[in-house]
């Protein structure tokens, strides 16, 4: 599991190292790692044209020390000093000793146009707000050229804790971060400015607290997707109940039920007015056109996609929420729940809410730039797990533990994909996973299925259902059919 650590946590972890190590040693570790990544990206140092955009403080010092290492390997390195009087003294001295040259911002245009790599050392993890002139103009010109755009620690203009981007920011194709991954690199608008992420170990690990925000790897998800064994039967693997779709619009019921089946619970029971469509599409499900109480014994419910918001739908939602079972609430059920939040506040059993941003706003506040903070606030208010859908889906529980999803594709922004996600998560809840983990694993698997389906081009929600077995096999490190995956 990849822990995501805030600026305050990173600063606190650095403090004992700064006190124990010789002056400048921690910066040298960072600069060595940064230069190593840059050399790998360039392929060769000799003759490569590198431009450093250098601000005041430690971030500029990291860039200057890395630039000195690149210059000593034969690269032609130029540092654009945005504030010469405040440039890091030791870094600048090392850079000049290595043969690096400096330029004023107004003279940097030609160098940026010819650069093979541009290194962003403008502001570090303590920076906030948009880039100001002349840095914004230099970044814009660099981005228009052919260079690799490499950020030092965090792209300048990106909030390291939230991922907020208020204006001009450095659009990195690669980001080299030190000691720990910061949340702003993988969530919100910041994710789009980070590019490929490289983590350099500078010795912080033993001083960092346990992360309250994490990102799952395939191995983490696989550990929560156990294979059936010889003693399992259809009841021991989890029974999920689905209330979704309607007689006029059966699609949500078909997609949600299909996704639950393909995630491999022991049994799926459907109850609702899309019974004919579900029965026709999925003979493997046990289908009733009655109320949830008529469906038989289940271990978790999914309620909401495509069910409508009339009085009958509200009555069904209240019936499901009145049980002592885990419940996932989505789509139309969220609209009704936003009018009567007490229906979930008084529940003792786990509840997962899966809003997109517009559905989230119905609960009384906009998501805004801080997606993690917004999800945590709503989860604490309602006493439920919140899965906030969108680019870098966020999952937060009432205690403040959160996950940021690292899988997916923009092709998932199409009708019905949320119904598939609900079916996956419902199956995992029925299998006994804690609600927060079930939501996080579902988002991870859903994203992998989207990536598999999008390999052939634009996808439909039904494509996700068909690709779920493949996605789960890949997450487990297997080829479809259960064979070990030794390929790429």
Q: What is the per-residue pLDDT for 233?
A: 76
Residue 488 has pLDDT above 60, yes or no: no
Contacts of 107 (CB under 8 A, 6+ apart): none
Residue 264 has pLDDT above 90, yes or no: no
Determine whether the annotation assigns residue 120 to a binding site: yes
Residue 471 has pLDDT above 50, yes or no: yes
Q: What is the per-residue pLDDT for 481?
A: 44
Determine whether the annotation assigns residue 356 to a binding site: yes
Determine whether the annotation assigns residue 128 to a binding site: yes
Determine whether the annotation assigns residue 405 to a binding site: no
Answer with the residue of higher pLDDT: 126 or 42. Answer: 42
Determine whether the annotation assigns residue 190 to a binding site: no
Determine whether the annotation assigns residue 182 to a binding site: no
The DSSP string of 212-232 is SEEE--HHHHHHTSPPP-TT-
Average pLDDT on 41-45 reads 96
Determine whether the annotation assigns residue 125 to a binding site: yes
Determine whether the annotation assigns residue 153 to a binding site: yes
Return contacts of 360-364, CB within 8 angstroms, 24+ apart.
360/388, 362/334, 362/335, 362/338, 363/338, 364/338
State the chain's mean pLDDT as an integer: 95
CB–CB of 183/372 below 8 Å? yes
Average pLDDT on 371-390 reads 98
Q: What is the per-residue pLDDT for 227?
A: 84
Give the C-alpha separation, 227 to 476, whole Å. 10
Contacts of 315 (CB under 8 A, 6+ apart): none
Q: What is the per-residue pLDDT for 226?
A: 84
Residue 482 has pLDDT above 60, yes or no: no
Q: What is the per-residue pLDDT for 188?
A: 94
Give the C-alpha separation, 259 to 296, whole Å. 20
Residues in the chain: 488
Q: Which helix (H) or strand (E) holds 174?
A: strand 174-178
Determine whether the annotation assigns residue 392 to a binding site: yes
Determine whether the annotation assigns residue 391 to a binding site: yes
Confidence tier at 487 by pLDDT (50, 70, 90)? very low
pLDDT digits (tens, 9 = 90+) for 125-167: 988 889 999 999 999 999 999 999 999 999 999 999 999 999 9
Average pLDDT on 186-212 reads 97
Angle at 17 between CA 16 and CA 23, to 5 degrees: 120
State how far the alpha carbon of 38 is from the alpha carbons of 42, 92, 97, in Å. Answer: 6, 19, 20
Give the C-alpha separation, 84 to 104, whole Å. 8
pLDDT digits (tens, 9 = 90+) for 105-124: 999 999 999 999 999 999 99
Determine whether the annotation assigns residue 59 to a binding site: yes
Q: Percent of the chain having pLDDT more than 90? A: 92
Q: What is the per-residue pLDDT for 230?
A: 75
Give the C-alpha separation, 412 to 450, whole Å. 6
Residue 484 has pLDDT above 70, yes or no: no
Determine whether the annotation assigns residue 246 to a binding site: no
Question: By three-state DSSP, how is residue 167 classified?
Answer: coil
Average pLDDT on 425-443 reads 97
Q: Percent of the chain having pLDDT more than 70? A: 98
Domains of the chain: 2-211 (3.40.50.10260), 218-484 (3.40.1190.20)
What order do you get walking across the sheet with 394-396 strand by strand? 2-4, 213-215, 402-404, 394-396, 385-388, 351-353, 327-329, 300-303, 239-243, 267-271, 286-288
Q: What is the per-residue pLDDT for 485?
A: 39
Contacts of 455 (CB under 8 A, 6+ apart): none
Q: What is the per-residue pLDDT for 486?
A: 34
CB–CB of 59/153 below 8 Å? yes
Determine whether the annotation assigns residue 127 to a binding site: yes
CB-CB neighbours of 479 under 10 Å: 14
Determine whether the annotation assigns residue 293 to a binding site: no
Residue 479 has pLDDT above 90, yes or no: no
Average pLDDT on 404-432 reads 97
Determine whether the annotation assigns residue 462 to a binding site: no
The encoded tokens of residue 196 equal 């490929």
Residue 480 has pLDDT above 70, yes or no: no
Give the C-alpha separation, 103 to 51, whole Å. 10
The encoded tokens of residue 148 equal 């690799």
């Amino acid at each position: 599991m990849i822990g995501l650590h805030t600026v305050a946590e990173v600063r606190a972890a650095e403090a004992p190292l700064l006190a124990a190590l010789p002056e400048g040693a921690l910066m040298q570790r960072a600069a060595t790692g940064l230069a190593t990544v840059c050399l790998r990206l360039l392929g060769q140092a000799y003759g490569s044209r590198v431009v450093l955009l250098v601000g005041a403080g430690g971030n500029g010092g990291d860039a200057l020390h890395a630039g000195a290492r690149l210059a000593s390997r034969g690269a032609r390195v130029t540092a654009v000093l945005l504030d010469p009087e405040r440039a890091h003294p030791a870094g600048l001295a090392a850079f000049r000793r290595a043969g690096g040259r400096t330029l004023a911002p107004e003279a940097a245009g030609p160098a940026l146009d010819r650069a093979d790599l541009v290194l962003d050392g403008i502001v570090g993890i303590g920076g906030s707000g948009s880039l100001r002139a002349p840095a914004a103009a230099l970044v814009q010109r660099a981005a228009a050229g052919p260079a690799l755009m490499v950020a030092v620690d965090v792209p300048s203009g990106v909030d390291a804790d939230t991922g907020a981007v208020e204006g001009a920011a450095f659009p990195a194709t690669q980001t080299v971060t030190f000691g720990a991954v910061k949340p702003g690199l993988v969530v919100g608008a910041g994710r789009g400015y980070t590019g490929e992420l490289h983590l350099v170990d500078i010795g912080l690990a033993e001083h960092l607290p346990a992360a309250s925000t994490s990102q799952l790897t395939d191995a983490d998800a696989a550990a929560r997707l156990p294979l059936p064994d010889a003693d399992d039967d259809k009841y021991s693997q989890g029974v999920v109940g689905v209330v979704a779709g309607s007689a006029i619009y059966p699609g949500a019921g078909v997609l949600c039920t299909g996704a639950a089946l393909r995630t491999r619970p022991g049994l799926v029971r459907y109850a609702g007015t899309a019974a004919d469509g579900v029965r026709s599409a999925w003979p493997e499900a046990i289908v009733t056109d009655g109320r949830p109480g008529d469906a038989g014994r289940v271990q978790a419910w999914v309620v909401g996609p495509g069910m409508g918001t009339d009085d009958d739908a509200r009555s069904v939602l209240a019936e499901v929420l009145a049980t002592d079972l885990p419940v996932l609430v989505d789509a139309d059920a969220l609209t009704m729940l936003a009018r009567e939040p007490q229906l979930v506040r008084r529940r003792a059993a786990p509840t997962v809410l899966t809003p997109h941003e517009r559905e989230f706003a119905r609960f009384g506040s906009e998501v805004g730039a801080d997606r993690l903070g917004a999800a945590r606030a709503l989860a604490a208010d309602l006493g439920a797990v919140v899965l906030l859908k969108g680019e870098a889906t966020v999952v937060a529980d009432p205690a403040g533990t959160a996950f940021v999803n690292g899988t997916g594709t923009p092709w998932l922004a199409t009708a019905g994909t949320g119904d598939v996600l609900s079916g996956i998560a419902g199956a995992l809840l029925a299998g006994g996973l804690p609600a927060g983990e079930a939501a996080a694993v579902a988002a991870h698997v859903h994203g992998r299925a989207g990536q598999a389906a999008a390999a052939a081009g634009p996808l439909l929600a039904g494509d996700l259902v068909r690709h779920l077995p493949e996605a789960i096999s890949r997450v487990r490190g297997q080829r479809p059919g259960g064979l070990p995956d030794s390929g790429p």
